Amino acid sequence: MFELFFLSLSLSLSERCEEEPEKVSGSSRFYDVFSQQFKSFRCLFLLNNKHTHAPPPIIYFTGLAGLPFAGKSGFGAYLHHVPDNGKLLVIFAPHVGIDAEGQIGGLQRDGQLKVSNACGAAIGAYKALQSKNKTPNDPLLVYNTLQPENIDIKFDPQLEQIVNLLAPRLKGIDESQNSISFVTYQMYGIIRELITACITQTDDLFDYTTEIAVVGGVIINRRKGGDFFQPLSFETRKRCLSGDTKKIDPPIDLYEETFGVHPNLQSIMGSKQALDRASIVSS
Amino acid sequence: MKQAQRGLIAVVLLLLLAAVLQLPESCTAFVVPVITTTTTLSPTMTSRTASDTSSALHSSAGSTDDGESSNKSSSKSSKSNSSSNSNFLDKLFEEENNKLFNKYDIDNSGTIDKNEFKSVVKKMNKESRRREVFSIVSATLGSIFVASSSNTFQFGQKKFRSKYLEPNAELAMNENFPTALLSSDCEKLIFKTLHKRGFTPSNTLLGHSVCSDEVNTRGEQIIPLMIERWNKKGFALGGKF
């Protein structure tokens, strides 16, 4: 009984309170039905924390694909808002969906029956490069949902940036285990380089803060079973002990202390060069 | 984790309370017939007291302020009971009725006198107080449960996710993103390391650079969890317009 109660509780949080699209997958059918029994209860008792503790899912019109489009100016503003003698904590990540069939780059969103792309911007950029014959043809079905007008970059400055940054990193994609995983890891590399550039090119960084920690990884969106984060880097930079605020020392790696050994991603990426291009430390 | 356990305990207690709270209803159901029988059989008890008690117990008991009319209605009720003796449920009711009456008729005189009636009233008051205590306790526990719901969810998700996940998606994730952790676990590990280094919600400003996709703002995602942890604030490095 207890187990079933929590099962329902878990399910309720991974789904919305309103009616869901009909799902007919055999094994999950029982749980779906069971979950329905608790619908009114969970609405009343906040089992769905989207309606209580956390904000509801909304789109912020921020950077696409996780790139720090606020740039150095935005980073400067962020730095100047830190509490006196305080610390900065930056987290960055591209995201990728995985649908029920295990297709990387697909995601069934709340209230939708069809599977759509996640991350749409990264896949859109990849598709745009494919249309220019800059990458081998990729027969993955998930791309078919992208219409030609959606990959037209004429009036899409952020996507244009993403395409330009992604293009030189796609070498070796045909040797990878999965093209969308490859693109996602490369997106991670792009964001990491941009964040690092913002930090190292900010001269007055340690005039305002004593330490800056940076966590990087990949967000994995799932319909069921919870959302995941694959950490790929965790480092911190401290104000120089000599007191020279203009000097930025190399970062201190906190990854192994926090998460254990680095993952070995070479077989997934296909080559060491591809890993290096994505700025991924591999064991 | 401690909060998650507290949440779990709160759920258990709520379930137990829900079960226990059924008892007073059944007690009331048995006490009402005792009073009805009392009004029929007891000439020693004042009709005024009987009707007051009866209406306090159950508004639908059919009692009135008038002693005679009370006795009349009781007689009618006993007549109708005797006519439907063949009914099994009525029989059961009668048995229970008699059992309870015998329980409170301590001197076995066949009537319930003033002293015996006192014990009935005491029992009623006790039940009433018990209900009040249960209401307060369940409200308190409910609020604790509500306050720690996020932790309760995270605990439940981790414990039972294997029962409802999609196997193909799980396999694909393990193959392509082998060291992925549940967002809540990852967030806790990050906090643990940073806390040791002197990062606290009051001295730290969070900045995040993730895609604007709404799936990244779901309650169980790492960014909302980190915003919640780090003083409920976060600077969007992706820009905002």
Q: Which residue of B has its CA nearest to A15?
A: B218
Contact A93, A66 (CB under 8 A): yes
Mean pLDDT of A61-69: 78
Q: What is the ipTM of this complex?
A: 0.73
- pLDDT over 80 (residue A155): no
Average pLDDT in chain B: 73
Q: What pLDDT score was predicted for residue A20? A: 40
With both helix axes pointing from N to C terminus, report the angle between B22-41 and B47-57 in degrees, rounded to the nearest 10: 160
**Residue B180 CB coordination number (10 Å):** 22
- Cβ-defined contact of A100 to B166 (cutoff 8 Å): yes
Interface test mutation site (partner B, options A173, A228, A257, A283, max chain B beta carbons within 10 A) = A228
Better pLDDT: A220 or B27:
A220
Q: Which residue of A has its CA nearest to B194?
A: A213
Chain mean position to CA B1: 24
- Going from the C-alpha of B25 to that of each of A95, B58, B116, B127, the distances in angstroms are 54, 11, 22, 10
Mean pLDDT of B143-148: 70
Would you kindly state where each structural domain of chain A is located, as residue ranges?
2-51, 64-277
Strand ranges for A114-238 from DSSP E: 115-117, 209-222, 228-238
**A189-203 residue pLDDT tens:** 999 999 999 999 888
- pLDDT over 80 (residue B127): yes
- Chain B CB contacts of A44 under 8 Å are none
Mean pLDDT of B206-234: 85
Look up the pTM and report it.
Answer: 0.61
Contact A106, A115 (CB under 8 A): yes
- Chain A CB contacts of B236 under 8 Å are 60, 62, 70
Between β-strands A228-238 and A95-98, what pairing exists: parallel, antiparallel or unpaired?
A: unpaired
Interface test mutation site (partner A, options B164, B199, B231, max chain A beta carbons within 10 A) = B164
Look at A64-78, A148-162, B80-94, B212-226 and tell me which has the smallest mean pLDDT.
A148-162
Better pLDDT: A126 or B39:
A126
By CB neighbour count within 10 A (0-12 exposed, 13-18 middle, 19+ buried), where does A5 fall?
middle
The DSSP letter of residue A36 is: H
Does A195 touch chain B if contact means CB atoms closer than 8 Å? yes
- pLDDT over 70 (residue B187): yes
The DSSP letter of residue B197 is: T
Mean pLDDT of B190-196: 95
Q: How confident is the model at residue B44 (pLDDT cuts 50, 70, 90)?
A: very low
Record the tokens describing residue B215, joined without a space: 């799936």
Average pLDDT in chain A: 75
Q: Which stretches of chain A are DSSP H helices?
A: 2-14, 26-37, 39-44, 71-80, 120-131, 157-166, 179-200, 205-208, 255-259, 266-269, 272-277
Q: Which of A 11-50 lie inside 8 A of B, CB atoms?
A: 11, 13-14, 25, 28, 31, 45-50
Mean pLDDT of A147-170: 74
Q: What pLDDT score was predicted for residue B148? A: 64
Q: Which residue of A has its CA nearest to B180?
A: A230
Record the tokens describing residue B150, joined without a space: 């996020």
Contact A150, A55 (CB under 8 A): no
Distance from CA of A116 to the nearest CA of B (A): 12
Mean pLDDT of A245-267: 88
- pLDDT over 60 (residue A39): no
Q: Which residue of A has its CA nearest to B178?
A: A263
Would you kindly state where each structural domain of chain B is located, as residue ranges?
2-147, 169-236
Interface test mutation site (partner B, options A227, A237, A266, max chain B beta carbons within 10 A) = A227
- Cβ-defined contact of B220 to A226 (cutoff 8 Å): yes
Q: What pLDDT score was predicted for residue B60? A: 39
Look at A131-135, A230-234, B135-139 and tell me which has the smallest mean pLDDT.
A131-135
Look at A86-95, B111-120, B141-150 and tell me which has the smallest mean pLDDT.
B141-150
If you search the block for the tokens 């207690």, which residue do you land on?
B13
Nearest CB to A119; choose among B211, B219, B235: B211
Q: How confident is the model at residue A52 (pLDDT cuts 50, 70, 90)?
A: very low
Contact A90, B207 (CB under 8 A): yes
Q: What pLDDT score was predicted for residue B84? A: 56
Nearest CB to A62; choose among B155, B215, B240: B240
Mean pLDDT of B156-179: 84
Secondary structure of B85-118 in HEC code, one letter for each residue? CCCHHHHHHHHHHHHHHHHHCCCCCCCCCHHHHH
Q: Give the N- to C-terminal CA distance of chain A in Å, as an integer.
A: 44
Better pLDDT: B71 or B181:
B181
